[in-house]
């Protein structure tokens, strides 16, 4: 087991270097001092998404807040594959599941996409940010995915970089096996998952007209949107991502 693995782990904003001080915001200070009952002299782990992971010591803990002093670098930064998840928002609990699992599975960006059949288009960006931070803290990830506000599908496609392969989970069938395609992808990629009920014929036509879009099938059964998102991210990571 890696040294210090059992220490509590926090995502923080300030730059991290030996001897640096970090003043925790109130929610984190409450968590450390009240929930975990940590006090001066206790150690935690901290990361900020670009400076790796560090051991830090609590040097002040009281009513005015909690201050950490950074003491030792534990892990260097590690980049995740340049893989994005685009998905049509679904019911709140299932959207929460998708965001959490996309973070665990190493997505670099999470982008909600509004389609004709999207029934739950509203997503709070601050809530998404909190969710990816919590998932990264719990899963030993050294960065957090960038999160974006929902954007309509046609707007997403009109501004797309053709150098990024868009792997389209086509529930209508006819696409290449997702496993086979993921093994062949070179360069940056994104996966696109539609809403419950799927894409409309017009949306499918628009997607299939783009040279960078690669339709795939996820097998003989129609998967729920959240299952499809996890399945396709897993296939990519196992075939062409940081699991390969």
Residue 181 is predicted with a pLDDT of 94
Spans of all domains in the chain: 9-75, 83-239
Roughly what angle, to the nearest 10 degrees, separates helices 92-104 and 225-239? 10
Strands (E), the chain: 9-11, 21-23, 43-47, 53-62, 65-75, 83-87, 109-114, 146-147, 151-152, 165-169, 176-177, 189-193, 213-217
Mean pLDDT, residues 215-236 taken together: 94
Residue 175 is predicted with a pLDDT of 83
Q: Which residues pair with 191 in a beta bridge?
A: 85, 167
- pTM, to two decimals: 0.93
Q: How far apart are CA 237 and CA 174, in angstroms?
A: 23
pLDDT tops 70 at residue 1: no
Which residues have C-beta within 8 Å of that of residue 70, sequence separation ≥ 6? Answer: 16, 17, 18, 19, 20, 21, 22, 46, 54, 55, 56
Just give the CATH number of 83-239: 3.40.1280.10
CB 58, CB 44: distance < 8 Å: yes
Q: Please, which pLDDT band fits residue 242 given cuts at 50, 70 and 90? A: very high
Domain covering 9-75: architecture: Beta Barrel (2.40)
pLDDT tens digits, one per residue of 163-205: 999 999 998 877 899 999 999 998 999 999 999 989 999 999 9
pLDDT tens digits, one per residue of 64-99: 899 999 999 999 999 899 999 999 999 999 999 999
């Amino acid at each position: 087991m890696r040294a210090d693995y059992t220490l509590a782990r926090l995502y923080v904003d300030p730059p991290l270097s030996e001897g640096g001080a970090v003043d925790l915001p109130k929610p984190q200070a409450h968590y450390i001092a009240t929930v975990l009952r940590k006090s001066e002299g206790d150690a935690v782990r901290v990361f900020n998404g670009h400076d790796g992971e560090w051991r830090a010591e609590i040097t002040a803990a009281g009513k005015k807040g909690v201050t950490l002093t950074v003491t030792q670098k534990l892990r260097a930064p590690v980049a995740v594959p340049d893989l994005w998840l685009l998905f049509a928002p679904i019911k709140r609990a299932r959207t929460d599941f998708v965001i959490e699992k996309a973070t665990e599975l190493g997505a670099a960006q999470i982008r909600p996409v509004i389609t004709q059949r999207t029934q739950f288009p509203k997503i709070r960006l601050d809530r998404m940010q909190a969710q990816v931070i919590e998932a990264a803290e719990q899963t030993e990830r050294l960065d957090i995915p960038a999160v974006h506000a929902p954007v309509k599908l046609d707007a997403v496609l009109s501004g797309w970089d053709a150098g990024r392969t868009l792997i389209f989970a086509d529930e209508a069938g006819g696409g290449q096996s997702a496993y086979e395609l993921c093994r062949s992808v070179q360069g940056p990629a994104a996966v696109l998952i539609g809403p419950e009920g799927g894409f409309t014929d017009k949306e499918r036509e628009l997607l299939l007209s783009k040279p960078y879009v690669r339709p795939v099938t996820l097998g003989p059964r129609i998967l729920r949107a959240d299952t499809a998102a996890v399945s396709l991210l897993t296939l990519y990571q196992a075939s062409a991502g940081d699991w390969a």
